Amino acid sequence: MAFLRNCWYVAAWCAEVVAERPFGRRILGVPMVFFRDSQGKPAALLDRCPHRLLPLSMGTVSGDRLACGYHGMEFDRSGRCVRVPGQERIPATARVAAFPVAEHLGMLWVWPGDPALADTAKLFDGLPQWALSQGPDPTWGLSCGPYTHVKCNYQLLTENLVDPAHVTYVHKSTLGTPAMADIPVETTQVGDTLLVTRWTLDSPAAPILQRFGKWPGNVDRWQYYWLYPPSIAVVDFGSHTPGMEHTDAARDAGVRIYSCHFLTPETEASTHYFWLQLRNFAQTDADVSRDITDQLIMAFSEDKAILEAIQQAEAEPHVAERVKLALDSGSVRLRRTVGRMIAEEEGGAAAATNH
Ligand code: FES
Ligand SMILES: [Fe+2]
- The full set of domains in the chain, from first to last, is 9-117 (2.102.10.10), 126-338 (3.90.380.10)
pTM to 2 decimals?
0.94
How far is Cα 84 from Cα 82, in angstroms, rounded to an integer?
7
Average of per-residue pLDDT across 1-14? 95
Quote the pLDDT of residue 322.
83
CA of 127 to the centre of ligand 2 (A): 21
Q: Of the ligands numbered here, which is closest to the C-alpha atom of 47?
A: 1
Q: Which of 33, 45, 49 to mutate to test the pocket of ligand 1 (most atoms within 8 A of CB)?
A: 49
pLDDT the model gives residue 69: 98
Sheet order of strands, 107-110 included: 9-13, 107-110, 101-104
Q: For residue 252, give the amino acid letter.
A: D
Average pLDDT over every residue of 14-31: 97
Ligand 1 proximal residues by C-beta, below 6 Å: 49, 51-52, 54, 68, 70-71, 73
Dist. CA 97 → ligand 1 center (Å): 16
Residue 296 binned pLDDT confidence (cut-offs 50, 70, 90):
very high
- In the DSSP assignment, the letter for residue 50 is T
How many Å lie between the centroid of ligand 1 and the Cα of residue 56?
A: 9
pLDDT given at position 1: 65
Neighbours of 322 (CB within 10 A): 8
pLDDT at 185: 81
